[in-house]
Chains A and B, each alone.
Chain A
């Protein structure tokens, strides 16, 4: 005969709970908490949406309900997106070396085009030519 739990909390007493014997069978079967959705949050109009985390949900509609509670319950929110995690294709961190030379491509950066030295040199030269 299992022992009934007596709590300070009348709501717990109303549940009529008994002491759970440890080592019993698992309560939850696999996938009981559904799949996951990635949540993207936009703080203000004009901002980008940014990935903020996940929620567990059985459908996009419920994922949105949970996302509102989990990521929009304080501060500002303009908009939310939810995306089934299965539909996200991500790179492997092991392949990061494919970007290794990208920061070196100075011909893609405004900083790669410095001409002030040339201009100064030209003006210097011209000023000498003009003085008799």
Chain B
């Protein structure tokens, strides 16, 4: 699922580069031709740094995203739903592993990425700092957050870095099952008893704000952003992806007679663009800074998993073990 979505801005962005101009020109020609960049190719320092950040954050989002849904495995209504949710949660963790290995090819170890996650240095998708209170939350996450992530991941899978594209192709293929099962849970509740319907409406109301936050605020069209787009690191603007998501999924929500908690949400017939009210960006930034309802719990659970497994990894370690950067 859980494609990176918004990548938070850094405090100090390095825009000055000391890259060899000749190498840089060759690199940019290759990317412009549509050729992929492979791990041991020469690449601009900033390209490497941005990709590590982006892929790493995407990986963290997959693994943290498994937590709110994992909560519901033991309480899924029925055996088939339980099987499906287990399979989905396992897929998300598998996606994290695929993404971590893509980031590893750029030179950052998995241990370093995990440490940065636990210590709050690297971020993950903001939506997972909200709790999944009822089974209807699982429906909203599985349908709409996965759908938003797919919009993001399909765009990124056409990027320039080979290992990331290959990981995303496999991920998008598996996501299609996630989206279908999410939609199935969503439709069953929407067409169920009045209580099930009101449960779903309540979950939709609570999740709509984080969903609107998913792609992040409008990009500032700086030179930095334009360079990342030229290098095919950033494949679409946050606004474009949000518009695409709204066009695809608002009708699927409305056809079930459900409402969205934004009185200003409508498609402008002239521009064809969706208009919406302020989704409270102040809350968005507060949650990114660590003040969301579940930030502390997510990181503590993640840390406990590493700490509690340490003795097993230690016991299995071979004396001659040696790490080399994966090839692809």
Q: Which residues of B contact A9 (CB under 8 A)?
A: 71
A-contact 0/1 string along B163-178, CB 8 Å cutoff? 0001100100010000
Chain A count of residues within 8 A CB distance of the other chain: 46
Q: Which residues of B contact A112 (CB under 8 A)?
A: none
B-contact 0/1 string along A1-35, CB 8 Å cutoff? 00001011101100101111011101111111111
Q: Which residues of A contact B306 (CB under 8 A)?
A: 27-28
How far, in angstroms, from A56 to B104 measured CA to CA in the complex? 11
Stretch from A66-74, A101-109, A117-125 that touches the partner = A66-74
Known pairs A27-B303, A31-B111; A7 contacts B297 (CB<8 A):
yes
Q: Which residues of A contact B132 (CB under 8 A)?
A: 8
Q: Do A34 and B327 touch across chains, with their CB atoms under 8 A apart?
A: no
Q: Do B318 and A59 touch across chains, with their CB atoms under 8 A apart?
A: yes
Task: Give the dominant DSSP class at B's interface.
Answer: helix
Known pairs A34-B313, A93-B38; A27 contacts B327 (CB<8 A):
no
Shortest distance in angstroms between B157's beta carbon and chain A's nearest beta carbon?
15
Q: Is B131 in contact with chain A by the CB < 8 A criterion? A: yes
Q: Is A88 in contact with chain B by the CB < 8 A criterion? A: yes
Q: Is A78 in contact with chain B by the CB < 8 A criterion? A: no
Q: Do A8 and B38 touch across chains, with their CB atoms under 8 A apart?
A: no
A-contact 0/1 string along B306-328, CB 8 Å cutoff? 11001001101110011110111
How far, in angstroms, from A32 to B94 measured CA to CA in the complex? 19
Q: Do B120 and A22 touch across chains, with their CB atoms under 8 A apart?
A: yes
Q: Is A54 in contact with chain B by the CB < 8 A criterion? A: yes
Q: Which residues of B contact A26 (CB under 8 A)?
A: 111, 115, 119
Q: Which residues of B contact A58 (CB under 8 A)?
A: 313, 316-318, 321
Q: Which residues of B contact A70 (CB under 8 A)?
A: 94, 97-98
Shortest distance in angstroms between B45's beta carbon and chain A's nearest beta carbon?
18
Shortest distance in angstroms between B181's beta carbon and chain A's nearest beta carbon?
13
Q: Which residues of B contact A114 (CB under 8 A)?
A: none
Q: Is B296 in contact with chain A by the CB < 8 A criterion? A: yes
How far, in angstroms, from A34 to B109 measured CA to CA in the complex? 11
Shortest distance in angstroms between A49's beta carbon and chain B's nearest beta carbon?
15
- How many A-B residue pairs lie within 8 Å, measured between CB atoms? 127
Q: Do A27 and B97 touch across chains, with their CB atoms under 8 A apart?
A: no
Q: Do B327 and A35 touch across chains, with their CB atoms under 8 A apart?
A: no
Q: Which residues of A contact B321 (CB under 8 A)?
A: 31, 34-35, 58
* Interfacial residues of chain A within 62-114, with CB under 8 A of chain B in the complex: 62, 69-70, 73-74, 85-86, 88, 90, 92-94
Q: Do A86 and B322 touch across chains, with their CB atoms under 8 A apart?
A: yes
CB-CB nearest in chain B for A24: B119
Q: Is B252 in contact with chain A by the CB < 8 A criterion? A: no
Known pairs A58-B321, A93-B41; A5 contacts B313 (CB<8 A):
no
How far, in angstroms, from A19 to B298 measured CA to CA in the complex? 10
Tell which of B98, B110, B166, B326 touches A85, judged by Cβ atoms closer than 8 Å. Answer: B326
How far, in angstroms, from A23 to B118 measured CA to CA in the complex? 9
Q: Which residues of A contact B323 (CB under 8 A)?
A: 30-31, 34-36
Q: Do A20 and B324 touch across chains, with their CB atoms under 8 A apart?
A: no
How far, in angstroms, from A93 to B318 measured CA to CA in the complex? 32
Q: Which of the listed residues B74, B132, B166, B326 has the most CB atoms from chain A within 10 Å of its own CB?
A: B326
Q: A19-B300, A27-B114 are in contact. List 17 more A-B contacts (CB 8 A).
A: A5-B296, A11-B74, A12-B301, A15-B304, A22-B290, A28-B111, A29-B111, A31-B317, A53-B166, A53-B170, A54-B104, A55-B97, A58-B321, A62-B316, A85-B327, A92-B40, A94-B41
The 4 closest A-B pairs by CB, nearest first: A22-B120, A28-B111, A58-B316, A26-B115
Interface on A for B, CB 8 Å cutoff?
5, 7-9, 11-12, 15, 17-20, 22-24, 26-36, 38, 51-56, 58-59, 62, 69-70, 73-74, 85-86, 88, 90, 92-94
25 sampled A-B residue pairs with Cβ under 8 A: A11-B74, A17-B297, A17-B301, A20-B118, A20-B296, A20-B300, A22-B290, A27-B119, A29-B111, A33-B109, A33-B111, A34-B323, A36-B101, A51-B328, A53-B167, A59-B318, A62-B316, A69-B90, A69-B94, A70-B98, A73-B94, A85-B327, A88-B327, A94-B40, A94-B42
